Structure 1
Amino acid sequence: MKFGIVGCGFIAKKHAKALSNIEGAEFVAVCDKVEDMMKPYKEEYGVETYTELTDMLQSDIDVVSICTPSGFHAPLALEIAKAGKHIIVEKPMAMKLEDTEQMINAAKENNVKLQVVHPNRFRPVVIELKKLLDSNKLGKISHANCIVNWNRNQEYYDQAPWRGTKEHDGGVLMNQAIHNLDLLLWFMGEPKEVFSMEATRLRDIEAEDVSCGTVRFVDGSLASVQASTTVYPKNYEESITIFGEHGTVKIGGPNALYFEHLEYEGMDESEVEQMKERIQEDPWGTPGHQRIIEDMIEAIEEDREPLVPGPQGENPLKLVLKMYESAENGKIVQW
C-alpha cells in the first residue's frame, strides 16, 4: 500500500521511519507548504514532494498520515476522505468535538478507514495491564491515579508560533497528557462526571501548563488526573495506578514503561517476575507508530475497523474539553 504524509514537522519523522520498517508499506509522497521542510524526506526516502494536498491526493496513494499542528487536522481529514484515501491522524484528533464528528462522518460516507495515533496502547507493559483488567484479576475497581509531570521549557514553546496556543495546540492536557488520558479511558471505561482546575504558572503560553482534576466513571469508580509541563529540570513521571478490591497495579517511570507495583490475589509470583523481566529487556516493544500503521494495513485488507478508530480517538479529546469546561465554570460537568 502506498503512503503519504502531510505536514513535515517533528512527528512526521516517526511516521517515515515506521513506514521504512514495514513490509508491504511503500512511502511515496510528502506534502508541506514549506518546500525546505520536505527536502530531508526526498533525499532520504526518494519520495515525491507536493506543496498542495490536492495535488498529492490525485496520485495513486492509498493512505495519508496527518502530521500537521492539531488545529489543521479536521479540514485536511475531510479533504483526504473525500478523495477516497484512508486516514491516519496524529493526536489530538482535532481541537473541537464538532470537527471530530465531521471527520468520523466523512470517513463513513466515503468508505475509508480513520485511525487515530495513540501508540502508547501498544507498549508491552500497557498490553499486560489491559489483560489483567480484562480478565478481572483486580476485581472491582475503587479508583485510579493518572499522572504526567513532565518538562517542556519555554524554548520548546518558542520553537513554533502555534505551540501553546488554544487554537492550534492546547496546553499540557491536550498535547502531552492526552496519551495517558486515552489509556485511562481504555482501562476504566466511560466517565459520568468531570471536575478540574487549570493554571498557567511558569510558561508564557495561552493554554494551561498545569492541571488537576477528578473523574467519576459510570461504574462509580474515581480517578485523579494531574498533568504539568513545569517540572524542573526534566521529565519526572508518567504513570497510571489502578486500585482494585483484589489488587493494585502501577505502571510508571518517566514514560510509563514499567510495572512499579504489581500485586493481585492468587498471582503466580514466578510468572509475574518473568513478565517483568521481559518488559525490562524491551520496554518499548515494536514502536507504537509502526503498530498503528501495520494495523491500518490489516484493517484495510480485512475490511474491519482499526484498533484506534475515530470514536475512540474522540474520547480523550472529549475528556480534555470537559476538564477545560469545568475549570472555566468552576463546577462539575456531566459527560
Structure 2
Amino acid sequence: MSIAIGLIGCGAISRKHLKTIANVDSVQLRAVSDVDDDKMSEAVERYRTLTGDQTFITKLNDYKALIKREDVDAVVVALLSSMHATVAKEALKAGKHVMLEKPIALSLQDTDELINLQRLTNNVVLVCHQLRYRPVFQKIKWLMDEGVIGKPYYGTASLKIYRPKHYYSSAAWRGSWDKDGGMLVNQGIHLIDLLIWLLGDVHSVYGQIGRYLPFKETEDVASGVLQFENGARAVLDANSVTLPNNLGYELTLVCDKATISLKGALDQLERCFVESHPEIEKELNLLMNDTREHEYMYEDFVKSIKTTKSVKMSCVEGKKAFEVIGGLYLSHLKNNVITFPIESFSTSDMKGSC
C-alpha cells in the first residue's frame, strides 16, 4: 500500500522530492500546494512526465486545506525556512506524518515545540539531512561505531561555493535572518550535521562570521572551532563568495587508526588510510558511486510510518546541527566560547550582527 503524499511548496527544492516520489514505489503524489498557480502546474506536469501517470493531482493555494485532506497520509514541507516548523506542527496536529526540509526551524523554541508535539502525536517527522543516508557515509559511520578507525581526534569541514546576486533576488526571503536564516543554516548545515553524526555531540564552539555583499543581511563567510564531548576537535571553514563558481566541499576525519577525506561534491575519496584494513579504500570507492540517498531517506520514512520504528533522521537529530550553528552565531555576537546546550536562540537575533 502506497503512502499518499501532499507536497507543500513547489519551488526549486521540490524538484528533487518530485523525482524521488516518482522513483519510490511505496509513495504516490496526491496533492500539491503553493501560492503560485504556475509553480503548482509545473510540479504536477513534472511528476506526470517522470511517472507517465496521468492520475488527477489536487492543486491547492492554501496549504492548510491540503493538510486537512483525508486522502493525504503525509506531507513534504518544502517552503521557505521560516515556515518549516509552523507548517510541520500544523500537520502533526492534523494527524499527518511529515517530511521536513532542513533546517528543522529558525529558533530553538520552535524546534523544541516540534519535538514535543511529535512525541505527543507519535507521528513520524523526518528532517531532510539526506547525506546521512548516502551509503559511503553509512559505511564510515559503521567503521566509527565499531571502533575500526579508532578514537576520533580531529575533523575539518569546508564549504566553498558561490551564490550571486540573482540567487537572492529570485526570492524576496533569501538572505534575510528572520526568513532565510543564514548561509550556514542553508548551505553549511549538511556538513555540520555530518561532523556531529560521525564525531559525536558537540560540547562547545567558538566562531566568527562576516558579511561583504551589501544586498542581503546574512553572512558570506564563517569559521568555527568545535570541541566534542569525546575530546575530538573540528574546524569549520565556509563561504558563499568563491568566484567565479562553486569550488566544492571537503570533509576530513582524523582518528588514531585512520584518515578519511572526501572532496568535490563529497563524491571523491581523496584519502582513505585505515590501519590494517587496506581493503576499506576499495569498499568506500565502490560505495561512492551510489548517490541515491534521497530515495533511501524516503524508504526510511515509509518504513517508519508502517512499522512505528524511529527514523534515522528524527526531530531530535535534526535539532543538533541547528543548535551548533546557533552556538557559532552566538559566539560571534558575544566574542566568546559557547557551551551546549543553549537555552534560547533565533536567527532573528542576528539582525545587524555583521
**With structure 1 as the length reference, what TM-score do the two structures score?**
0.94
Q: Deviations over 1:58-89 (max 9, x none)?
A: 32211100000000111111110110000010
1:94 aligns with 2:105: yes
Equivalents in 2 of 1:325, 1:277: separation in Å? Answer: 39
* Distance apart, 1:203 and its partner CA: 5.8
2:88 to 77, 82, 87: 77
* Distance apart, 1:295 and its partner CA: 0.9
Q: Deviations over 1:35-78 (max 9, x none)?
A: 22201123343421011122212322111000000001111111
Q: Which residue of 1 aligns with 2:350?
A: none
> 2:82, 2:180 within 8 Å by CA — same for their partners in 1?
yes
1:174 aligns with 2:176: no
Q: Which residue of 2 aligns with 1:121?
A: 132
> 2:133, 2:294 within 8 Å by CA — same for their partners in 1?
no
> 1:125, 1:251 within 8 Å by CA — same for their partners in 2?
no
Which moves more between the two structures, 104-113 or 169-178? 104-113
Q: Which residue of 1 aligns with 2:308?
A: 303
* Distance apart, 1:264 and its partner CA: 1.8
* Distance apart, 1:168 and its partner CA: 1.2
1:262 to 272, 287, 293: 272
Q: Which residue of 1 aligns with 2:344?
A: none
The one-letter code of the counterpart of 1:76 is V
Q: Secondary structure at the match of 1:176?
A: helix
1:290 to 290, 295, 302: 295
Q: Which residue of 2 aligns with 1:198?
A: 209
> 1:195, 1:326 within 8 Å by CA — same for their partners in 2?
yes
Q: Deviations over 1:201-226 (max 9, x none)?
A: 24631010100100111111111111
Superposed, which structure 2 residues align to 1:198-277 within 5 Å? 198-202=209-213, 204-253=215-264, 255-267=265-277, 269=278, 271-277=279-285
Q: Give the CA RMSD over aligned residues.
A: 1.4
Q: Which residue of 1 aligns with 2:320?
A: 315
Q: Which residue of 2 aligns with 1:48?
A: 58
Q: Which residue of 2 aligns with 1:20?
A: 22
* Distance apart, 1:276 and its partner CA: 4.4
Q: Quick one: structure 1 residues 37 and 169, their matched pair in 2 at CA, closer, same or farther if it must change by over 3 Å?
A: same
Q: Deviations over 1:110-133 (max 9, x none)?
A: 221110000111223222221221
> How many corresponding residue pairs?
329
The one-letter code of the counterpart of 1:294 is E
Equivalents in 2 of 1:137, 1:334: separation in Å? Answer: 30
Q: Deviations over 1:235-289 (max 9, x none)?
A: 1131111111121111112x1112211102111x3x2353244245x252x2x32
Q: Which residue of 2 aligns with 1:330?
A: 335
**Matched residues, percent identical?**
29
2:149 to 122, 128, 138: 138
Q: Which residue of 1 aligns with 2:41?
A: 39
Q: Which residue of 1 aligns with 2:175?
A: 164
**With structure 2 as the length reference, what TM-score do the two structures score?**
0.89
Equivalents in 1 of 2:145, 2:284: separation in Å? Answer: 19
* Distance apart, 1:173 and its partner CA: 0.6
2:31 to 21, 29, 37: 29
2:122 to 111, 132, 152: 111
Equivalents in 2 of 1:305, 1:114: separation in Å? Answer: 9
The one-letter code of the counterpart of 1:27 is L
Equivalents in 1 of 2:311, 2:290: separation in Å? Answer: 24
What are structure 1's unaligned runs of at least 5 residues? none
* Distance apart, 1:10 and its partner CA: 0.5
Q: Which residue of 1 aligns with 2:286?
A: 278
Equivalents in 1 of 2:93, 2:269: separation in Å? Answer: 44
The one-letter code of the counterpart of 2:10 is C
Q: Quick one: structure 1 residues 273 and 306, their matched pair in 2 at CA, closer, same or farther if it must change by over 3 Å?
A: closer
> 1:148, 1:226 within 8 Å by CA — same for their partners in 2?
yes
* Distance apart, 1:294 and its partner CA: 1.3
